[in-house]
Amino acid sequence: MTDKSACIIGASGGIGSALAALLPARGYGRIHAGMRSPRTVAGPGFRPFAIDLCDTASIETAAADIAAAGPLDLLVVATGVLHREPDIRPERSLKQIERDAMETVFSINTIGPALVARYFLPLLARDRRAVAVFLSARVGSIADNRLGGWHSYRASKAALNALVRGFAIEARARNGQSVVAALHPGTVDTGLSKPFQRGVRAGQLFTASQSARHLLDVADRLGPDDSGGFFAWDGSVMPF
């Protein structure tokens, strides 16, 4: 069956590109691949489009174009930032909190996904199971925070998790079969984690394609009762 339709926002990223690559074999015949700088994506059914999470007009325009192509069965928001040269690095202490850096982290990790939800969740199919997942991070769990630091990133993901809970409630009113969830992909070998991989134990660093496989398996297994939740790559429930 190749009649399902998916949209990946952040299809240029480590995990996002790996997710996109797996979709044709999972029955997705139309794959909208959102990137800041769209490029051709090899493979059947790919439709690259431009989207910048810090530019609301680009989100709205992209959603209008995709709406014209028909309803979505799967939406994945795989964008995010943890560090960026020269202006963003995760704070080791509160003395390193800077307004501009924190605003940028929230703009990309929280406000951008919220606006994607505004314009893209209404594109999910209403008459059948439809899933939207937002890539979050374990460090966004407030209950799980024993190390401190990484204040902006942690808080931006904690806020994303809170938003996802609210989005799920609205999505349920439109379609009782919908699932909207936040997912932790594991620690994954991508540009985002590269500077922080030293302390990661062997066997605990996934390739992007391992993580993508796990994430799609979790997205397949979640049901309407799970909507609004926060789940790890193995399907375990994460505390908020």
Ligand X SMILES: NC(=O)c1ccc[n+]([C@@H]2O[C@H](COP(=O)([O-])OP(=O)(O)OC[C@H]3O[C@@H](n4cnc5c(N)ncnc54)[C@H](OP(=O)(O)O)[C@@H]3O)[C@@H](O)[C@H]2O)c1
| The one among 7, 21, 76, 135 contacting ligand X by CB under 6 A | 135
Closest C-alpha to 33, from 24, 20, 44 = 20
Q: What is the DSSP letter of 34?
A: E
Choose the binding region for ligand X from 21-29, 95-103, 189-197, 219-227 (rule: CB under 6 A): 189-197
By CB under 6 A, is residue 141 in contact with ligand X?
no
Q: How far is the CB of 6 from ligand X (least distance, A)?
A: 16
Q: How far is the CB of 41 from ligand X (least distance, A)?
A: 12
By CB under 6 A, is residue 90 in contact with ligand X?
no
Q: How far is the CB of 196 from ligand X (least distance, A)?
A: 8
Q: Based on CB atoms, which residue is closest to ligand X, 117 or 135?
A: 135
Q: How far is CA 189 from the centre of its chain?
A: 16
By CB under 6 A, is residue 16 in contact with ligand X?
yes
User: CA angle, 156 as apex, 23 and 83 as ends, to 5°?
Assistant: 75
| The one among 193, 215, 228, 230 contacting ligand X by CB under 6 A | 193
Beta bridge partners of 88: 84
By CB under 6 A, is residue 158 in contact with ligand X?
no
How many Å apart are CA 123 and CA 219, to the nearest integer?
Answer: 18
Interface map 24-63 toward ligand X (x if CB under 6 A): -----------xxx-------------xxxx---------
| The one among 28, 32, 41, 79 contacting ligand X by CB under 6 A | 79
What is the size of the binding site for ligand X (CB under 6 A)? 28
Q: How far is the CB of 185 from ligand X (least distance, A)?
A: 5
How many Å apart are CA 31 and CA 124, to the nearest integer?
Answer: 14
By CB under 6 A, is residue 229 in contact with ligand X?
no
Is-contact 234 216, C-beta < 8 A? no
DSSP 72-93: BSEEEE----S-BTTTB---SS
Closest C-alpha to 77, from 32, 28, 143, 24 = 32
Is-contact 182 77, C-beta < 8 A? no
Q: How far is the CB of 34 from ligand X (least distance, A)?
A: 7
Residue 158 in tokens: 């904690």
- Name the residues that contact ligand X, by CB under 6 A: 10, 12-16, 35-37, 51-54, 78-81, 108, 135, 137, 184-185, 187-188, 190-193
